[in-house]
Amino acid sequence: MSNIVAVVGRPNVGKSTFFNRLIKRREAIVDAVSGVTRDRHYGKTDWNGKEFSLIDTGGYVVGSDDIFEAEIDKQVELAIEEADAIIFMVDVESGVTGMDEDVAQLLRKVKKPVFLVVNKVDNNKRLEDAVEFYSLGLGEYYAIASINGSGTGDLLDAVVEALPEAEEVEEDELPRFAVVGRPNAGKSSFINALIGEERYIVTDIAGTTRDSIDTKYNRFGFEFNLVDTAGIRRKSKVKEDLEFYSVMRSVRAIEHCDVCLLVLDATRGFDGQVQNIFWLAERNRKGIVILVNKWDLVEKDTKTAKDFEKHIREQIAPFTDVPIVFISVLNKQRIFKAIETAVEVYKNRTKRIKTSVLNEALLPIIEHQPPPANKGKFVKIKYIMQLPTPQPQFAFFCNLPQYVKEPYKRFLENKLRDQFDFNGVPISVYMRKK
């Protein structure tokens, strides 16, 4: 289970710069994924070999100053509840503000590791100024300048040191399907509709993570774990609709599942919050099925479903090869179709294609439409293989990998999708030196 570290604090103290710095450092190692820029507030990083998820709360605050106060309090409360460690960032330029004191007051009661970080300390004068932050009553602080990274090493050493040891979860080998989506989209009802009527249930396992419950489930001769993220404990303080809340809630479930069933409310559409969760799943390279719930409540004419589907596909481009199932949990319409689709997506995600078959199918296409020449250099792709990873990744071996640009990689991905069924599954295409 990966740990979650939340970065909290009032606006403009440099949370995002700090966040981007950590994530970039990591992305330099991992192949950059297109579409990453869509949601800049969540990322994975590691330090001293310990991996954790970082959530920058700053991106989720909107509104005027008075709304800020309330929103920030809510986010801090949520971070306190959901995160394993909290980085509280303040700004040496503006000194201690009333809002900083409010946040500190919430954090002083916390049993989790809290790190007070004074940002923008880039000279000795400012190092002296930082002393006033002792008044927040959170003990020692870390002086950093996230713009150039000074001081972040010591801070991260301390953070990973304080993170709880990742629980070794009893991994049973069953595939995990996570039901995710914004609050009130019908996630719990969907699961209850599946389970309530069925006598197939084998066992109930109390949540392996603190906020999801796994149910062993057998259908179509296929057994899997159904993970409910619908929030077992109702939050008294957190306003249900907080965007940050649904993303934070989904992070763990998505990171540890094979297929995400993304439930959305047809009357609200495929809004920004649902998109955030979609890109979170895409970026973690999980299988995805989009379930449009409450379809019975939508006024329909002959092409409503087509239009709705087209709109969703425009929003999720370029990754449009995703099944969309219209369901009504209330009327039990197509809920088993939803599960059947998830099973297919799981099979697509775990599919292994023989190297000989891959080369036979794709090399003629590539020969017919080779990568465009770059600076008079011609790229020759000689050989293709699927990498031994949990999700589909393909290496194309060629003489000049650095000259193959994004559009051509997307062309290759589309050809892979045409030839072999990868519906619902993100594919990674890598160019390697022969």
14 is in an annotated binding site: yes
298 assigned ligand-binding residue: no
The answer to the question of whether 84 is labelled as a binding residue is: no
State yes or no: 60 annotated in a binding site. Answer: yes
225 marked among binding-site residues: no
**Residue 188 marked ligand-binding:** yes
228 is in an annotated binding site: yes
Query: Is there a contact between 290 and 321 (Cβ–Cβ < 8 Å)?
Result: no
Q: How many residues does the chain have?
A: 434
Q: Is 179 annotated as a binding residue?
A: no
Looking at residue 31, the DSSP 8-state letter turns out to be: P
- Is 59 flagged in the annotation as binding? yes
Tokens of 71: 């929103």
State the DSSP H helix or E strand holding residue 161, giving kind and residue range, or none if neither: helix 152-162
Helix ranges (H only) for 7-84 are 15-27, 65-82
296 is in an annotated binding site: yes
Residue 9 annotated as binding site: yes
Beta-bridge partner residues of 204:
215
232 is in an annotated binding site: yes
User: Does 124 count as an annotated binding residue?
Assistant: no
Task: In whole angstroms, give the CA distance from residue 272 to residue 254.
Answer: 18
Closest CA to 283 of 256, 262, 258, 255: 255
295 assigned ligand-binding residue: yes
Is 293 annotated as belonging to a binding site?
yes
Residue 10 is assigned to a ligand binding site: yes
User: Known binder of ligand: residue 120?
Assistant: yes
Q: Is 187 annotated as a binding residue?
A: yes
* Residue found under tokens 């001081």: 151
Angle, nearest 10°, between helix axes 272-283 and 304-316? Answer: 60
Whether residue 231 is annotated as binding a ligand: the answer is yes
Check whether 185 is labelled as a binding-site residue: yes
Q: Is 119 annotated as a binding residue?
A: yes
- Is position 175 annotated in a ligand binding site? no
The answer to whether the annotation marks 122 as part of a ligand binding site is yes
Question: Is 376 annotated as belonging to a binding site?
Answer: no
Output Rg (C-alpha) for the chain, integer angstroms.
Answer: 24
> Residue holding tokens 């009802």?
189
Does 186 belong to an annotated binding site?
Answer: yes
User: Is 183 annotated as a binding-site member?
Assistant: yes
Could you tell me if 277 and 247 are in contact, meaning their C-beta atoms sit under 8 angstroms apart? yes
Q: Give binding residues as ranges.
A: 9-16, 56-60, 119-122, 181-188, 228-232, 293-296
Q: Give binding residues for GTP as ranges.
A: 9-16, 56-60, 119-122, 181-188, 228-232, 293-296
